[in-house]
């Protein structure tokens, strides 16, 4: 069956009309661009030639009248005065007529009058205009003034003088070259005729070319129509959806595809002999209302409805029927698209039962159960009671409002929420502070996972209160931290001990190796500390050590590490500083110690050894180098800073 096929005769008529219109356009263009200009050219230039001839006749007549006047004035025959008077009157009229004819010629040539002397140049002028201006100049400024004086003073003119004056030096100079005008006009006429022939021939070529194109594209168009009909038939038959084409008025089935044959169990021949109500379990009135509704919607506006359809084996299937209006061979029909939704309905019913089972289960467990998408969509009764929310609060509740965490942790939780809602399945387990509606918090163990709930990806959260356990764990951790701190501090000075120093030094060396960082090591001890103990007692010595440790802590940077290495020896790890900066720091500390007033009134002095980390160093090598530098300070007089690179 073909659909949307154009009638061949109609297409040929349209093509013929298009060709006629094309011929008319070409003819109009040829007439407008060739024949009309040719007609105008011939008309205008004929008037110019005619006017030139008239002016030349006027000049010839003027010369003839002047000869007659000169003859009568010279030979004075009988009654000559009357004849002179008569010819002078004719001469005046001829002069005026000549002026008028010049004006007509100038109008045709678009020349403004009166013509001034400076306008008479013929260089670079148009062909006709140049001759006309030259002729008019001789007439206006030479011939006409002399003729007027001749009319006024006729009796003083001699025969010999008058002939040469008027014929050779006046009127003959004003005569226009008629032959030159005609030759120029003929050349223009030939050019226009050739141009018209060119336009006509070009138009014929264009028409032939366009005609070939029309024939080519018409042939291509009909081939495409045949291909589209074949494609439609192929698509109609190979569609995985069952299709039935039916009559709008009666509901009779006109055509069916192979999927429809397979679905209903009937052959195409059997289906096309049936009415739609033979398979759709509806009354003819209801089916007619459905058909009319689809028809009134028009082409491209389908409507859908769910029906029960009966198969050939008497099985009943629940189907979704989409009905839309189409055109086939310029006639309107309706096409049914039938989708079997029996299994979908069974699945939806099963899903409803699963949802009901989930709600029954969640309502009877002593844990917080929450479902969320962009907002919280469900809380079980235990959750509502535990957190203090009501059902009305759920609609505007953000899942992240249920936890009390820092912003960076909240961002991580938000990213995981987005992953779940996009269908990514993974499980998580947190121990976080859970926030109630009243702002109070408790520690909760949160289990989060991805579920498919009501046909959408959803986040499931189960929360158990573990506050007692977390408090116990925190107390235990605090005790551990206290013990660790005690084990890493020196009892007397309350600064890091040697054990802690060894650990930090190893870390600093590792960072320097991996990150290409730098650090320096400062080692110092109290000069003659044994004498202090022997003279003032060990309690005074301990006091000096404590005060010295406090003084150094107050005068180093926050990222510097300070430790008691043993006895009266101390170590400073200066991070991100080279040996020059470390020497300056050591000198600053030496002066602070020297000028400090210790409580025991004892003058305390220290010797400093400074070195910087090198790539081949280990803990032992860098400590030895710092120790060597410190003993170098002692050898050089004590209370000074020495360095070894």
pLDDT of residue 472: 78
Mind listing the pLDDT tens digit for each residue in 27-38? 777 667 666 776
Split at pLDDT 50, 70, 90, the class of 1 is: very low
The residue among 477 and 510 whose pLDDT is bigger is 510
Could you tell me if 320 and 351 lie in one domain? no
Please indicate, yes or no, whether the overall pTM of this predicted structure exceeds 0.85: no
Residue with the bigger pLDDT between 572 and 38: it is: 572
Residues 254 and 175 reside in one and the same domain: no
Q: Is 568 assigned a catalytic role?
A: yes
Answer yes or no: do 32 and 172 share one domain. yes
| Domain closes at, from 301, 316, 340 | 340
52 and 121 fall within a common domain:
yes
Residue bearing the bigger pLDDT, 565 or 9: 565
Q: Label residue 582 by pLDDT band (50, 70, 90).
A: very high
Mean of pLDDT values over 376-403: 86
Of 92-101, 108-117, 521-530, 615-624, minimum mean pLDDT range: 108-117
Kindly list the distances between the CA atom of residue 93 and the CA atoms of 62, 65, 90, in Å, as whole numbers in the listed order: 10, 11, 5
Do 515 and 620 belong to one domain? yes
**Shared domain check, 534 and 446:** no
Question: In which domain, by residue range, is 107 found?
Answer: 8-185
Adjacency order of strands within the sheet including 569-575: 561-566, 569-575, 519-526, 606-612, 641-643
Question: pLDDT class for 381, splitting at 50, 70, 90?
Answer: confident
Q: Do 55 and 159 reside in the same domain of the chain? A: yes
Ramachandran area for residue 388 (φ above 0: left; ψ -120 to 50: alpha; else beta): left
Task: Kindly report, residue by residue over 280-312, the tens digit of the pLDDT.
Answer: 888 888 888 888 888 888 887 888 888 889 898
Joined tokens for residue 390: 């009501």
The reply to whether 462 falls in a domain is yes
Q: Given the residues 568, 587, 616, 620, select the one marked as catalytic.
A: 568
Strand order in the sheet with 376-379: 376-379, 368-372, 456-465, 441-453, 428-435
The pLDDT tens digits of the residues spanning 50-62 come to 888 888 888 888 8
Burial class (CB in 10 A: 0-12, 13-18, 19+), 171: buried
Whether 481 maps to a domain, the answer reads no
Write the pLDDT tens digit of every residue in 411-456.
Answer: 888 888 888 888 888 888 888 889 888 888 888 888 898 888 877 8
**198 in any annotated domain:** no
- What DSSP line would sit under 136-152, residue for residue? HHHIIIIIHHHHHHHHH
pLDDT of residue 6: 39
Specify whether 450 is located in the same domain as 569.
no
Residue 586 lies in a domain: yes
- Coil, strand or helix: which one is 561? strand
Number of domains comprising the chain: 4
- Whether residue 333 lies inside any domain: the answer is yes
The rounded mean pLDDT for the chain is: 81
242-246, strands of its sheet edge to edge: 253-256, 242-246, 331-340, 316-328, 303-310
User: Do 631 and 554 sit in the same domain of this protein?
Assistant: yes
Consecutive H or E run containing 42 = helix 36-75
Lowest mean pLDDT, pick from 75-79, 423-427, 628-632: 75-79
C-alpha to C-alpha distance for 117 and 564, rounded to whole angstroms = 122
> For residue 125, is pLDDT > 50?
no
| pLDDT for 479 beyond 80 | no
pLDDT reading at 633 higher than 90: yes
Q: Which of 122-126, 250-254, 564-568 has the lowest mean pLDDT?
A: 122-126
Q: Mean pLDDT over residues 351-365, rounded?
A: 72
Same structural domain, 271 and 325: yes
CATH assignment of the domain containing 567: 3.30.70.270
| Whether 63 and 99 share a structural domain | yes
Strands 569-575 and 519-526: antiparallel
Q: Are 334 and 324 in contact (CB under 8 A)?
A: yes
Q: What per-residue confidence (pLDDT) applies to 185?
A: 66
* pLDDT at residue 394, as a whole number: 81
Last residue of a domain, one of 293, 311, 340: 340
631 φ, ψ to 5°? Answer: -70, -25
pLDDT digits (tens, 9 = 90+) for 236-245: 777 788 888 8
Helices (H) and strands (E) in the chain, counts: 20, 15
User: Has residue 234 been placed in a domain?
Assistant: no
Please indicate, yes or no, if residue 192 is contained in any of the structural domains: no
Identity of the highest mean pLDDT range in 22-36, 352-366, 383-397: 383-397
CATH of residue 250's domain is 3.30.450.20
Q: For a pLDDT cut of 70, what percent of the chain falls above it?
A: 82
Kindly give, in sequence order, each residue whose CB lies less than 8 Å from that of residue 93, ignoring residues fewer than 6 positions away: none
Residue after which a domain boundary falls, among 277, 310, 340? 340
DSSP letter string over 78-90? TTHHHHHHHHHHH
**Are residues 271 and 146 part of one domain?**
no
> Is residue 199 in some structural domain?
no
Task: Please write the tens of the pLDDT for every residue from 161-209.
Answer: 555 555 666 666 667 766 566 666 666 667 667 776 777 777 778 777 7
Please give the pLDDT value at position 118. Answer: 43
Give the residue among 204, 199, 220, 215 at the shortest CA–CA distance from 18. 215
* pLDDT score, position 365: 79
């Amino acid at each position: 069956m073909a659909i949307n096929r154009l009638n061949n005769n109609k297409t040929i008529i349209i093509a013929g009309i298009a060709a006629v219109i094309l011929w008319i356009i070409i003819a109009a263009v040829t007439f407008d661009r060739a024949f009309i200009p040719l007609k105008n050219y011939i008309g205008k230039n004929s008037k110019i030639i005619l006017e030139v001839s008239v002016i030349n006749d006027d000049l010839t007549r003027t010369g003839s009248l002047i000869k007659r006047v000169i003859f009568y004035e010279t030979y004075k025959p009988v009654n000559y005065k009357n004849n002179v008077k008569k010819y002078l009157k004719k001469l005046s009229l001829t002069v005026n007529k000549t002026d008028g004819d010049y004006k007509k010629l100038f109008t045709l040539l678009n020349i403004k009058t009166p013509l001034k002397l400076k306008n008479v140049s013929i260089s670079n002028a148009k062909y006709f205009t140049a001759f006309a201006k030259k002729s008019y100049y001789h007439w206006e400024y030479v011939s006409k003034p002399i003729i007027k004086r001749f009319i006024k003073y006729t009796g003083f003119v001699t025969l010999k003088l008058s002939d040469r004056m008027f014929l050779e030096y006046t009127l003959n100079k004003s005569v226009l070259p008629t032959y030159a005008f005609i030759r120029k006009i003929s050349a223009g006429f030939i050019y226009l005729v050739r141009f018209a022939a060119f336009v006509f021939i070009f138009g014929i070529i264009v028409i032939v070319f366009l005609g070939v194109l029309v024939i080519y594209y018409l042939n291509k168009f009909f081939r495409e129509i045949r291909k589209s009909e074949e494609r439609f038939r192929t698509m109609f038959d190979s569609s995985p959806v069952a299709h039935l084409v039916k009559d709008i008025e009666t509901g009779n089935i006109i055509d069916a595809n192979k999927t429809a044959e397979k679905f209903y169990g009937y052959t195409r021949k059997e289906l096309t002999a049936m009415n739609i109500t033979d398979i759709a379990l509806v009354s003819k009135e209801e089916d007619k209302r459905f058909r009319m509704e689809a028809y009134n919607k028009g082409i491209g506006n389908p409507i859908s409805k769910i029906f029960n359809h009966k198969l050939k084996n008497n099985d009943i299937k629940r189907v979704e029927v989409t009905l839309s209006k189409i055109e086939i061979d310029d006639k309107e029909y309706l096409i049914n698209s039938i989708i079997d939704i029996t299994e979908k309905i069974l699945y939806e019913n099963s899903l409803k039962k699963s949802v009901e089972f989930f709600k029954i289960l969640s309502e009877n467990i002593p844990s917080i159960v929450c479902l969320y998408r962009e907002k919280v969509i469900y809380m079980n009764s235990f959750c509502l009671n535990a957190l203090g929310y009501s059902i009305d609060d759920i609609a505007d509740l953000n899942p992240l409002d249920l936890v009390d965490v820092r912003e960076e942790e909240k961002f991580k939780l938000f990213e995981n929420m987005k992953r779940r809602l996009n269908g990514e399945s993974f499980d998580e387990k947190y121990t976080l502070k859970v926030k109630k509606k009243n702002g109070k918090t408790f520690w909760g163990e949160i289990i989060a996972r991805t579920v498919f709930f009501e046909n959408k990806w959803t986040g499931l959260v189960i929360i158990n209160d573990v506050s007692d356990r977390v408090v116990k764990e925190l107390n235990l951790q605090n005790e551990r931290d206290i013990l660790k701190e005690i084990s890493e501090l020196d009892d007397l000075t309350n600064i890091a001990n040697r054990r802690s120093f060894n650990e930090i030094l190893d870390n600093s060396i590792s960072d320097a190796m991996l990150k290409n960082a730098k650090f320096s090591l400062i080692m110092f001890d109290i000069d003659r500390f044994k004498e202090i103990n022997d003279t003032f007692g060990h309690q005074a010595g301990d006091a000096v050590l404590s005060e010295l440790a406090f003084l150094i802590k107050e005068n180093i940077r926050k990222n510097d590490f300070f430790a008691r290495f043993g006895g009266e020896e101390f170590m400073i790890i200066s991070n991100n500083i080279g040996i020059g900066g470390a020497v300056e720091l050591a000198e600053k500390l030496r002066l602070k110690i020297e000028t400090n007033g210790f409580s025991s009134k004892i003058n305390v002095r220290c010797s400093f050894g400074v070195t910087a980390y090198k790539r081949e160093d280990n803990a032992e090598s860098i400590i030895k180098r710092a120790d060597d530098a410190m003993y170098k300070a002692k050898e050089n007089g004590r209370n000074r800073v020495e360095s070894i690179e």
